[in-house]
Chains A and B, each alone.
Chain A
């Protein structure tokens, strides 16, 4: 380290090595081995990866639900961010506080409360019964918990702030004279948005999408609580291999590795897309 200040990074480097790099190496070892049931000795094998095919539906569901949740977050988050950025600073502070507020509460607690809202005899169904909606439909209750929709709802609810914040911070910094210039050149409101504001907010969209998609695709608590055990996602599958009845840490490690690779590939592709715009915003 030629730079003296480089020593400040030492604690972080040590931390990363101990708790990130070494665990990943251990996982990699686990993923390509299996334990002999009798002796407990590790034997090299590719079976963990080849045998993963039976879980294809879990992989697909995970990606599908994560993509849907990310899209919903984007569809809700972009207009909210845009609106916030256009308002005055007092409103912005208030809105920011409201968006951050749920995050002060424990993540599990929030998800549990959604359970009691969505249950067959939960708050929503009680409300529907009280206003006569259930009688109108001729059913005892609306089946909400345990559906893919409930899982997506849980993910959107938990991860929406991660979509709003990056998009908002890009739009709020957007140079107002660019919008004036576009209007001056003959662009009406719609065109100003399409040709100037939206393209310039792409970097925010990209980081928002990454920040929502990555935790969504690997989530486990939301899907097991709101999915009612029927909407198993990759995170649940991995948890099951380490802590659950299907105890097989080797398979769990292999699935984790595959997921990690896929997420990294997604992020690289995404960042590649964003590169041009990133520079544009720096300007």
Chain B
């Protein structure tokens, strides 16, 4: 296949940035999208040009490091698929493909297609854990967990922290990411003691990091490569309401 790529080039955080057109020839349908970019970069290096910087690592859809807006869709046209797992057989000869970084005020661009997603780590540091220092754990079978809860917790825990939800959201909200972790931990008995302090801590950190609020647009769940459901945000809201109105974080017996 022969394709025309239009790629966002930005030298650094202060640079204004612009779209640049690159033709690429002889693209095999068996290539992954990132392998197609590898081929372009090899050519750019040999031509003495600056290769396109993009984040990637595992290339099997699990580390969450890659993330590209492809023709305006976070991770591209195929549902349930990260950019690294997207293959060129999803495109056809002669296509023009726009490639841009995640655009959200909480994810500033570092260079070209690389953004800083450190805000996600800050949300986790503000409560996205169970306090269980090493060595303090009871025997694993002392607390059974209903299979339905364990399975649902797993579904939310499958979030890879790629940030597609934020990139797709008209408000640049990180609610789906935050809600996924909250849902996982609130469905498990181990997560109960910190349930309400957790939701306040994480939501506050989310807002401080510059993410927008959720208005139930639902774009996030459509692009989520792991299919995190929108009802996790409903759970977040319910817990947040309980925590803030009843002071559940600090009140015994609540």
A and B associate: no
Taking Cβ atoms with an 8 Å cutoff, the residues of A that contact B are none
Query: Which B residues are closer than 8 A to A by beta carbons?
Result: none
